[in-house]
Amino acid sequence: MIDARQVDRAAGPYRLGVIGDPVAHSLSPALHQPALDLLGIPAVYERWHTRPGEMAARVASLRDARVLGANVTVPHKLEALRLVDEVSPAARRAGAVNTIVNRDGVLFGDNTDIAGFTASIAAVLGAEIPKRAVVLGAGGAARAVVLGLEAMGVSEIVVANRDPERARQLAAALAPAPVQTMGIGDAALRDALRDASLLVNATSLGWRAGEMPLDTRALALLPAGAAVADLTYRDTDLLLAAGERGLRAIDGLAMLVHQGARAFELFTGRPAPLEVMFEAARGARAGG
Ligand code: NDP
């Protein structure tokens, strides 16, 4: 983390980066660099491609006095949790670290996906708290979503996954979060959808046209007034179908920007320029 009163410009720029494999398509540099520049923070945000087996050395390199920290993406969020010195309670519970902050050589790991998700939902739902939410998927992103829903006060969380055993593991790991689990093909999912006010796609389906995590007929079971969120940051077929039904659609770009904004605040100790980050993310998405 940087101390704004003691910025040492003579020593060259501070460094930040995103750690992942691959990282070529990460939007993080596009999000963070304009925000650093706007605030006059002398720092460069880089892509740090890190292969399996290289994580320990990469994380150790973050202790350098000129490094402010790093964002961590697929597939390293779990290993990052084991390699940092201190971990926030949220990251420990999620079992994943997506943000590492260098605090004078002590590495602090946090998980900003959780607050990023809740901020993206609150931007659309306002003070409305869904009574029941259905989450599709049971991977790392679904864990952050479930913890976010729990923090929002959602009292019934249904997690449906292709592999129902993985959903059960998620529920056990996140207890006492109020989670009920099932397979994505189960008849019980149809009943769960009839009473849900929020549906979240946290599977990896949606990046390509034609990919749907759920049958369109099942989507039709959601009550009028429900909202549909997709962690994929494009107009997925799911979101398009939700829009056609008149449901509120929330795409994953807002979660991406909000998790980045929270990471930025941890790195710099300064409020993130949210609008600049949104604009940069939209531009990078359109260009990519
Ligand atoms: P994981 O690999 O941990 O989990 C993938 C999930 O998708 C599992 O539940 C898996 O089911 C399911 N899945 C994969 N293929 C299929 C399929 N063909 N049919 C049905 N289900 C399938 O990934 P993450 O949880 O890390 O990421 C999930 C998505 O969320 C990605 O698209 C990622 O880009 C996005 N994401 C977006 C963020 C944002 O800020 N907007 C932040 C983090 C993630 P199973 O267990 O049965 O294999």
- Say how many CA atoms lie within 13 Å of 186 toward its Cβ: 19
Ligand 1 within 6 A of CB of 256: yes
What pLDDT tens digit does each residue of the chain (288 aa) get?
Answer: 766 556 666 678 999 999 999 999 999 999 999 999 999 999 999 999 999 999 999 999 999 999 999 999 999 999 999 999 999 999 999 999 999 999 999 999 999 999 999 999 999 999 999 999 999 999 999 999 999 999 999 999 999 999 999 999 999 999 999 999 999 999 999 999 999 999 999 999 999 999 999 988 999 999 999 999 999 999 999 999 999 999 999 999 999 999 999 999 999 999 999 999 999 999 999 885
Angle at 215 between CA 218 and CA 247, to 5 degrees: 55
Please report the sign of the dihedral spanned by the C-alpha atoms of residue 269, residue 274, residue 280, residue 281: positive
Ligand 1 atom 17 nearest Cα:
205
Ligand 1 within 6 A of CB of 163: yes
Q: What is the pTM of this model?
A: 0.95
Return d(Cα 95, Cα 101) in angstroms, integer.
17
109 to each of 116, 120, 156, how far by Cα in Å? 16, 22, 29
φ/ψ bin of 95: left (φ > 0), alpha (ψ from -120 to 50), beta (otherwise): left
Residue-by-residue DSSP string for 156-204: EEEEEESSHHHHHHHHHHHTTS-EEEEETT-HHHHHHHHT-SEEEE-SS
Look at residues 262, 199, 261, 269 and name the one whose alpha carbon lies nearest to residue 34.
261
Return d(Cα 251, Cα 235) in angstroms, integer.
7
Please report the sign of the dihedral spanned by the C-alpha atoms of residue 8, residue 88, residue 58, residue 139: negative
Return d(Cα 273, Cα 288) in angstroms, integer.
22
Domains of the chain: 4-111+257-287 (3.40.50.10860), 114-251 (3.40.50.720)
Return d(Cα 77, Cα 82) in angstroms, integer.
9
Ligand 1 within 6 A of CB of 119: no
Per the annotation, the verdict on 77 as an active-site residue is: yes
Q: Which atom belonging to ligand 1 lies closest to the Cα atom of 207?
A: 32
**What pLDDT, on the 0 to 100 scale, is given for residue 216?**
87
Residue 180, burial from CB neighbour count under 10 angstroms (0-12, 13-18, 19+): middle
Which residues touch 57 (CB under 8 Å, ≥6 apart)? none
The active-site residue, picked from 32, 58, 76, 77, is 77
